[in-house]
Amino acid sequence: MLKAPPPASNRHHVLGLEKMGKHAFRIEEGGIWAAIHTPFRPDGALDTEGLRKNADIYTQALQLKGVFFCGLMGEYWSLTLPERKLVVETLASAAGGRLGLAPNCTHHSPTETIDLIRHAAASGCHYATLMNPAVGPRTDEALLDYFETVCSASDIEIILFNTPASGYLLNPPLLARLCEIPNVRGIKAAGDDKDRVEVRRACGAKVVVSDPMEKHWFENLTEHRQTLLFADPEPYLYQRAGHRPIAGYYAKFQSGDLEGCRAGFEQLAPLRPIYDRWIMEPMRTTGRPPNAALKVWAAQMGLAAGPTRPPVRGLTADEHNALIRDLQRAGISHPD
């Protein structure tokens, strides 16, 4: 069995299991979390000022419960380890306890994964998120060994991100076994509809299971009582200061007004085909990362975004203009 290396210093020790979970951002209590992008400057350098600006928008204008970052939407594959740690530290400082923080700590090296988990804990993050590893273990027993090793290296609570982007999905029986690891608290279930049903059936009584897609949330709220939306980009692509329709229909659900919830949900119908066309469909059909379109859309919402890093290409001029036209037809224009 893999053995976790000892902590690099006392700085990485976190509170014991009896202290776990004592914060205001419990995923068991529901709420809206977003998967955020990583802003870069025009020269491709990490934009820490942009991160701080965006953190203010997430907390004040959008009033999100939390953010998942350094993930697929955050171009984590293009970030160095020091940059990933700097993103964590910058957001933790900028959030100032106003925002739940759940960085992706996955790395192809288990040792580096453990270091990122411990760094997240030491920086004040509330959760560490772990994707199914893209390389290395593949059998159920090897994957169980891997997750037991990296999860046990810290007491920080863990959210599993079960994503086909790794080339496979963790099967529901294996996920049920992973949910027995003491600090595993949730699953971001990003498989297809059939997989999500099976994951919810296998794991829903053990941990919080969240279908991350906003277009499914009304059904998930009303049929599955999934009050946690964790975590895709829609909460900052569909909302801005003074206009928070997702939060609005969620509030209707919380108050017991299901018809009001349905009406608020249906008001977002014009945006969902645009999201599918520019964010989801390229991943499904061509494998093209959606980050370039995501950043153009985020900039339209007033967020710091900047370019993507090579080899992820930016949108062509025609693609850029087509996306802007789609957004304008749906009533979204740059706040200026």
Per-residue model confidence (pLDDT) at position 100: 98
Phi, psi (degrees; rounded to nearest 5) at 186: -160, 165
| pLDDT given at position 335 | 81
Which of left, alpha, beta for 26 (phi over 0: left; psi -120 to 50: alpha)?
Answer: beta
Q: Which residues of the chain have pLDDT under 50?
A: 3, 5-20
Residue 77 has which token pair? 């594959």
Task: For 14-65, write each residue's pLDDT tens digit.
Answer: 333 334 457 899 999 999 999 999 999 999 999 999 999 999 999 999 999 9
Identify the pLDDT of residue 9: 35
Q: Give the pLDDT confidence score for residue 285 in this predicted structure.
A: 87
Query: Which CATH number describes the domain made up of 26-268?
Result: 3.20.20.70
Q: Which residues are CB-contacts of 275 (< 8 A; sequence separation ≥ 6)?
A: 215, 234, 237
Q: What is the predicted pLDDT for the residue at 12? A: 30
| β strands within 164-318, DSSP E | 184-189, 208-210, 228-232
pLDDT score for 21: 54
Question: Scanning the structure block, which residue is given the tokens 């957004």?
Answer: 327
**Rounded distance, CA 270 to CA 237, Å?**
13
Q: Residue ranges of the domains in the chain?
A: 26-268
Give the pLDDT confidence score for residue 4 in this predicted structure: 52
pLDDT over 90 for what percent of the chain?
90
The secondary structure element, H or E, covering residue 127 is strand 127-131
> Which among 298, 214, 276, 271 has a CA at the least distance from the CA of 32?
214
